Amino acid sequence: TLTAPAPFADETSCQCQAPHEKLTIAQARLGTPVDRPVRVYADGIFDLFHSGHARALMQAKTLFPNSYLLVGVCSDDLTHKFKGFTVMNETERYEALRHCRYVDEVIRDAPWTLTPEFLEKHKIDFVAHDDIPYSSAGSDDVYKHIKEAGMFVPTQRTEGISTSDIITRIVRDYDVYARRNLQRGYTAKELNVSFINEKKYRFQNQVDKMKEKVKNVEEKSKEFVYKVEEKSHDLIQKWEEKSREFIGNFLELFGPDGAWKQMFQERSGRMLQAFSPRQSPNSSPTRGRSPSRSPSPPWVFSKASPPSSPKAASASLSSMSEGDEDEK
């Protein structure tokens, strides 16, 4: 498990003590003793260290079963002289290489063109680089003499990513990055932005903020409308169910054959019976009574003619009983 960055070559005491016998590629691929790893060297600028750099170093590390990868990084002076200005300074580039898992040792201020003295000093067996001729420093290919000596091992470039591609993206979207960094607190002087452009970028930032707020309001309003529509749909559905239930109950109660009609008919019949009861049978006519006078009850005695004697009273009682029998 890696717990520390790769050491610098000028600070480490871990020098290869084994005799530096020249190896062929075939011998190296067969494997070497543990105390004699194949020392592979890869160099470069490694500005804006990216996955393409890491993949190249991974290939260099895994070229042979037992290898020790040394990585040379050119200084700012050499790089600015032969290639151009870099985004990262040399110290940042050194540190980026030290923290790559495939690197065993970093060589600072590496030479632009490899000399026999440099190869002997670091006991380098092979040099790993992509096979495309690298023209620089007045040479069509700075690795030509390494190839002729049989010490060159090619690696494959990773298509679609390079330091130049990344810088091109930054230049293409410069306005976006400048606006973003102004918003994060960088000054126009630090970004090398003119006064007019600074005001333009800040105004654009304000416009973008306003657009974002409007967008958020629109999204919230859409969400609110959706919730209202969903609730209204539920309410309408419930109202329809309740209305159907109410109409059904109403028809069951007040419909043509409903319970209310039957109850009304029953009550109206009872009321008719109460207001017009059945007539009793006609009584037989009373004997010897005047039709103009209402008959008096037999038990009512006339004040004008009280019975003169007990015999007369008994006779009247007997006549009353006879009248009753006739009525019956």
**Could you read off the pLDDT of 248-275 as tens digits, one per residue?**
777 777 667 667 667 777 777 777 777 7
Residue 165: what pLDDT? 93
pTM: 0.61
Residue 244 identity (one-letter amino acid):
R
Residue 227: what pLDDT? 81
Query: CB–CB of 170/177 below 8 Å?
Result: yes
Q: Are strands 152-155 and 38-44 parallel, antiparallel or unpaired?
A: unpaired
156 burial type by CB count under 10 A (0-12 exposed, 13-18 middle, 19+ buried): exposed
- Give me the mean pLDDT over the 4-21 stretch: 72
Measuring CA to CA, which residue among 18, 13, 5, 11 is closest to residue 125?
Answer: 18
Residue 316: what pLDDT? 53
Higher pLDDT, 242 or 73: 73
- The C-alpha atoms of residue 37 and residue 31 are separated, in whole angstroms, by 8
For the cut 60, the answer to whether the pLDDT of residue 322 exceeds it is: no
- Give me the mean pLDDT over the 121-133 stretch: 93
Residue 87 has, within 13 A of its CA and on its CB side, a CA count of 12
Read off φ and ψ for residue 184, nearest 5 degrees.
-85, -5
Distances (CA, A) of 325 to 12, 142, 284: 157, 162, 12
pLDDT in tens, 194-223: 888 888 878 887 888 888 888 888 888 888
- The C-alpha atoms of residue 131 and residue 153 are separated, in whole angstroms, by 8
Higher pLDDT, 309 or 93: 93
- The C-alpha atoms of residue 105 and residue 68 are separated, in whole angstroms, by 8
User: Who contacts 74 (Cβ-Cβ below 8 Å, separation ≥6)?
Assistant: 43, 44, 45, 90, 109, 110, 111, 112
Residue 303: what pLDDT? 47
- At 126, is the secondary structure helix, strand, or coil? strand
| Per-residue tokens: 154 | 């090619």
Residue 137 identity (one-letter amino acid):
A
Read off φ and ψ for residue 21, nearest 5 degrees.
-85, 140
Residue 23: what pLDDT? 86
| Per-residue tokens: 302 | 């006339």
- Give me the mean pLDDT over the 37-55 stretch: 96
* Portion of the chain with pLDDT greater than 90, in percent: 38
DSSP letter for 112, please.
S
pLDDT in tens, 145-181: 999 999 999 999 999 999 999 999 999 998 888 888 8
- Give me the mean pLDDT over the 321-325 stretch: 47
- The C-alpha atoms of residue 258 and residue 275 are separated, in whole angstroms, by 26
* Portion of the chain with pLDDT greater than 70, in percent: 78
Residue 280: what pLDDT? 54
For the chain, domains (ranges, CATH) are 25-155 (3.40.50.620), 163-258 (no CATH)
For the cut 50, the answer to whether the pLDDT of residue 325 exceeds it is: no
The rounded mean pLDDT for the chain is 81
For the cut 70, the answer to whether the pLDDT of residue 298 exceeds it is: no
Residue 1: what pLDDT? 59
Measuring CA to CA, which residue among 144, 128, 48 is closest to residue 96?
Answer: 48
Q: Which residue has the tokens 């092979």?
A: 126
- The C-alpha atoms of residue 147 and residue 139 are separated, in whole angstroms, by 14
Query: CB–CB of 24/150 below 8 Å?
Result: yes
Q: Which of 48-57, 190-199, 318-327 is predicted most confidently? A: 48-57
pLDDT in tens, 61-109: 999 999 999 999 999 999 999 999 999 999 999 999 999 999 999 999 9
For the cut 80, the answer to whether the pLDDT of residue 17 exceeds it is: no
Residue 66: what pLDDT? 92
- The C-alpha atoms of residue 65 and residue 159 are separated, in whole angstroms, by 26
